[in-house]
A and B are shown apart, each in its own frame.
Chain A
């Protein structure tokens, strides 16, 4: 056990947790933010993607301990109050979600991809989402959503 502090969606969160606690469990179980999901046990599905110091990370692949002092954003922290992030809006407008289970991870991955490359192409989007599995949408509308989100975020494609 040991005390861990990190910044989660702007708030400092301190919890006493076992050394082997995964970051995703810290977020879901200890802090109680359940928007970040767990869809697999082999770091393949991407349902758990969060931003750690601005970089998208699968929260099931790192220990909470490794994130001490980090600045973390989860899906709950993406919107600006009641105003959705442009990428969230784009998913809504383009029907980029069905059951919603993969959605938090998809959106977090998409935001980081576009932050890095505003003029992202369709092929780059498909390649970039390789680590996020969706069983519902067939990806067609997710790709459209990311394209539209990129345009809203200032991209030219």
Chain B
């Protein structure tokens, strides 16, 4: 790798090349695109949570002004179009498979959540489509709704294929060894934690624009996707049974994803199908209410934890029993999130000799639950870091020291956990130390005393997290039930004048790939970054790739680019050797020049490019002309970012309001390509985690109505809810990839909720408060204070 001092190379905070279009209003999001002759789609959705559909009458709607077509589940069934599929399943404890009920594009015979689509109305304008839909009559036979997922097993059965409303009952680890360890433990710390249900809320609502071309029988779909190639694969191969070449999927500028735009949703598929049916482009744009009702939600777990300690307060065993809510249908990754992306992270940063976990995934009459920033790993971190805090308090140790004595020691890497993963590298004490220094941990008690004088309760809370990202070694994925590969692709084209076009299978929806990826190429080739363009998001232009989620773009997508550039350099050396009449082995590549070692004979990169495309003096008998290389990179292991976040809060006992007064984040992401972008990712993640811990909660009532279906009811973090953040780093480069990078997209959201809740509990600990559930709303905190005072008064 070249020196990090170059202004636009790896390690430099280059300003983003993609900014200007967004800052001037020239971004092109799906809803900004229109096609001549397009019709607008409106989905009639169920307003009851669980019911049989006795009859649908669409007659009046069909003749409503402007209406071009009205379709129901029967029309979809008649054309034999398949529904969304589950991309990863797990085996159950009893040896059976995950139960996979069908998910029709439009309801067939039954509705299973409020928002389930029953019919689509196509009309000249969105308003006409909506008015038309209001004329559809649906006759329901209501069934009793299942909302409380912990007791879903006793509720009415939602799918014929899913007995007891249990999609799977999965386990990992050694149950017997863990039971033995716990029974011999000197102390067992027990805790029950709930991971509240969240709505991802990317600011751009989902949108799709599908067009059918009857000249060559092909479709083009513009859609809000984090992974256009996966979308194409699922639509073409599983839903429509057409060759991939007949469907082009373009995910143009996408306004945030956070997991919610990974999956193929029914609306996109219906638009594709309907575009052929009516012979006109079909557009659908969700409003925010539909986003709340139909985007996959995240989290929604209850975890029972038992942690055993020996006489030295070292952990001897951990058992976690989890029940999670997966909603009305299985979504693409909803099975893997609470299992292999959750159970495998239960060792955290700690040396735990015995671990066992059991996870039950339940069906309910709520919208599907799937990945949301962190996806399984925040849930693992939350239960573990809440338990570590509780254990430290119960044994009377400083929470930082309690963590420290239980950390996997620096010398123990590679470290094999008891839950399948092998951490390649890490060093945990330095980021704990640095975070403590950043927040001035040692003087905290002074600040607490000062706050107390003002009548405020001040608290501090730690969270030391690990995550497995850079998804993923394909063989491991396959062995664990995944139905896809998890490699990433890149194609690097050197143009005749030496400029570069990079085609990546990753997808940027805010992460700044155009900048970061260009930096990697510029650094490796020693050329200015302006000479590198990055193309993504169009299945006609980019190689088949898996897209962006699970903090994989840099570790997997960046590594693929790096490998393709290595191939370019290798081929260039051969060309240079020919031009310089030297042996290939004598050619060194440095700072954009190919030099014959020990001489001043050299060729610039641009000259090599030109020679490759104008091969008049060129080794044509042994080497193909042109300079373009592909790489498919399949990682040998996950990468393991880790870090420590420390939150400091003040609680106002009069109102119960928790104010976040300080935040220190010290993360080990391995090597950083663009620290400015990394820092932005950390900030955004922390904000979402603080949102989860203090403000956000998706709440269904007992009838299955989503009570928090707008920004009036679902509390999004706003600028005045949050502090500025202190961000620092330690570095142990990943050994898994050449770049030594790990991934930073989800870390903030994983680390922050337990830090914050631990801080709130610490603040209220003088009152005897030992627990607090998320979100710690003013009302809940105020009540905890009142209850503690009434206990004290008794």
Binding site for B on A (CB under 8 A): 28, 33-42, 44-45, 47, 74-76, 78-79, 84, 88, 91-93, 95, 97-104, 107, 122-123, 125-127, 129-130, 132-143
Residues of A close to B96: CB separation below 8 A: none
C-alpha spacing A32/B677, complex, angstroms: 32
Pair A39/B288 contact, Cβ less than 8 Å: yes
Residues of A close to B203: CB separation below 8 A: 37, 39, 45, 47, 99, 101-102, 133-136
Pair B716/A127 contact, Cβ less than 8 Å: no
**Given known A-B contacts A99-B202, A135-B716, A140-B683, A36 and B724 have beta carbons under 8 A apart:** no
C-alpha spacing A93/B680, complex, angstroms: 13
Residues of A close to B22: CB separation below 8 A: 97, 100, 103-104
C-alpha spacing A123/B693, complex, angstroms: 22
C-alpha spacing A45/B18, complex, angstroms: 23
- Comparing B230-238, B505-513, B520-528, the segment that makes contact with chain A is B505-513
Pair B676/A37 contact, Cβ less than 8 Å: no
Counted as pairs of residues, one from A and one from B, with CB atoms less than 8 Å apart, the total is: 175
**B11-58 residues at the A interface, CB under 8 angstroms:** 15-16, 18-29, 31-32
Pair A138/B510 contact, Cβ less than 8 Å: no
Closest 9 CB pairs of A and B: A35-B25, A100-B22, A101-B255, A99-B510, A138-B687, A138-B683, A44-B711, A98-B510, A34-B32
Q: How many residues of B contact A (CB 8 A)?
A: 55
Q: Which chain A residue shows the least CB distance to B686?
A: A138
Residues of A close to B253: CB separation below 8 A: 99-100
> Can you show 16 pairs from A to B with CB atoms below 8 A apart?
A35-B25, A45-B288, A45-B711, A98-B510, A98-B680, A99-B204, A100-B19, A100-B23, A125-B719, A129-B718, A133-B718, A134-B203, A135-B202, A135-B716, A136-B680, A140-B687
Q: Among A41, A122, A140, A142, point to the contact of B710 (Cβ < 8 A).
A: A41
Secondary structure call for the A interface: loop
C-alpha spacing A140/B720, complex, angstroms: 11
Q: Which chain B residue shows the least CB distance to A34?
A: B32
Binding site for A on B (CB under 8 A): 15-16, 18-29, 31-32, 201-205, 253-256, 258, 287-289, 509-512, 676-677, 679-680, 683-688, 710-712, 716-720, 722, 724-725, 748
Residues of B close to A127: CB separation below 8 A: 719-720
**Closest Cβ–Cβ distance, residue A135 to chain B (whole Å):** 5
Q: Which chain B residue shows the least CB distance to A137?
A: B684
Pair B23/A84 contact, Cβ less than 8 Å: yes
Pair B15/A93 contact, Cβ less than 8 Å: yes
C-alpha spacing A79/B202, complex, angstroms: 27
Pair A136/B15 contact, Cβ less than 8 Å: no
C-alpha spacing A100/B264, complex, angstroms: 23
Q: Among B18, B287, B511, B680, point to the contact of A41 (Cβ < 8 A).
A: B287
**Given known A-B contacts A135-B256, A135-B688, A142 and B719 have beta carbons under 8 A apart:** yes
**Closest Cβ–Cβ distance, residue B254 to chain A (whole Å):** 7
Residues of A close to B677: CB separation below 8 A: 95
Residues of A close to B511: CB separation below 8 A: 98
Q: Which chain A residue shows the least CB distance to B711?
A: A44
Residues of A close to B710: CB separation below 8 A: 40-42, 44
Residues of B close to A103: CB separation below 8 A: 22-23
C-alpha spacing A139/B680, complex, angstroms: 9
**Closest Cβ–Cβ distance, residue B140 to chain A (whole Å):** 26
C-alpha spacing A102/B204, complex, angstroms: 8
Among A28, A135, A143, max chain B CB count under 10 A is at A135
Q: Which chain A residue shows the least CB distance to B682?
A: A138
Q: Among A45, A138, A139, point to the contact of B685 (Cβ < 8 A).
A: A138
Residues of B close to A33: CB separation below 8 A: 25
Q: Among B28, B289, B711, point to the contact of A133 (Cβ < 8 A).
A: B711
Q: Which chain A residue shows the least CB distance to B32?
A: A34
C-alpha spacing A141/B26, complex, angstroms: 21
C-alpha spacing A45/B21, complex, angstroms: 21
Residues of A close to B720: CB separation below 8 A: 123, 126-127, 129-130
Pair A138/B27 contact, Cβ less than 8 Å: no
**Closest Cβ–Cβ distance, residue B455 to chain A (whole Å):** 21
Pair A75/B288 contact, Cβ less than 8 Å: no
